[in-house]
Structure 1
């Protein structure tokens, strides 16, 4: 009798936290999906600079509210923190303006993922959240997030 091979590993893998600002349907879906994937999620509901959003090396930071008045401050802080992944959900137009603003201030935006997530084509909060969590997972393993088939 042959031994069955499982497609997963039981080895414990340590990842940083997934820090999400602010509380909305997408951030709640991110919490559900990322928790199921074994990630610790911290949602900061306040739109006032992200108090308590203290990114550590290895953490992922996702700004789910591009209209938050503190978006530039949150991104500035996260990009300078050593977080492994920093992203913002935004239209390409809004993203371009914000990136331009941060770059003019001297902030290195080369690692900023905007718009956040992989291009899955999803429109609803759960589908958008899936694309974001998939990108976080891919980044944490140094993978591009494309199809596995050759």
Structure 2
């Protein structure tokens, strides 16, 4: 009997909550859905009705210029989300991190910039790196190469 490299056992994972609607967030939804994850995209760039973060959810802020970005990050970091990330240049991230830290927000578990360093530049490639990081984190892995 040949051994299969995958498992048919159902594994429960939290949702991937994405703020706001843009080409990267739509690509995250497509890739993560294909990987069996439930994705919720909040299209309103002001946070809309709120992301309603549940324990184990992953939160990805895809628009660092969204009017409600600081509030969305504050709420996600205060929640039981298993992963909190933001798409941003290192410069933009530094300013927002400084603002949050001045307020006393613990940003130690914030992944910024979001995703693994795959080198991709297009929305689909960036989304792939983010989904890969979410999956790696959900299994307690680093996301490095599998070869020994």
Provide the TM-score with structure 1 as the length reference. Answer: 0.97
- Which of 32, 35, 42 is the equivalent residue of 2:33? 35
After superposition, give the CA deviation of every residue in 1:53-84 in whole Å (9 maximum; x if it has no partner). 01111000000001111100000000001100
1:116 to 114, 117, 127: 114
Unmatched 5+ stretches in structure 1: none
The answer (yes or no) to whether the contact 2:16–2:39 under 8 Å persists in 1 is yes
Report the secondary structure of 1:97's partner residue. Answer: helix
Tell me, yes or no, if the aligned pair for 2:19 and 2:47 is still in contact at 8 Å.
no
1:9-28 maps to which residues of 2 (within 5 A)?
9-28=7-26
RMSD: 0.7
Q: After the TM superposition, list the runs of 4 or more consecutive aligned residues in structure 1 that deviate by more than 4 angstroms.
A: none
Which residue does 2:142 correspond to in 1? Answer: 144
Q: Flag structure 2 segments of 5+ consecutive residues without an equivalent.
A: none
Alignment size in residue pairs: 148
Deviations 1:96-136 (A, max 9, x none): 11001000000000000000000000000000000000000
Q: 5 Å matches for 1:74-113?
A: 74-113=72-111
Q: SS in structure 1 opposite 2:3? A: coil
Comparing 123-132 and 52-61, the one that deviates more? 52-61
Whether the 8 Å contact between 1:21 and 1:50 is mirrored in structure 2 is no
| Deviation, structure 1 residue 48 | 1.7
Displacement of 1:51 in angstroms is 1.8
Report the Cα offset of residue 50 of structure 1: 4.2
SS in 1 for 2:84: strand
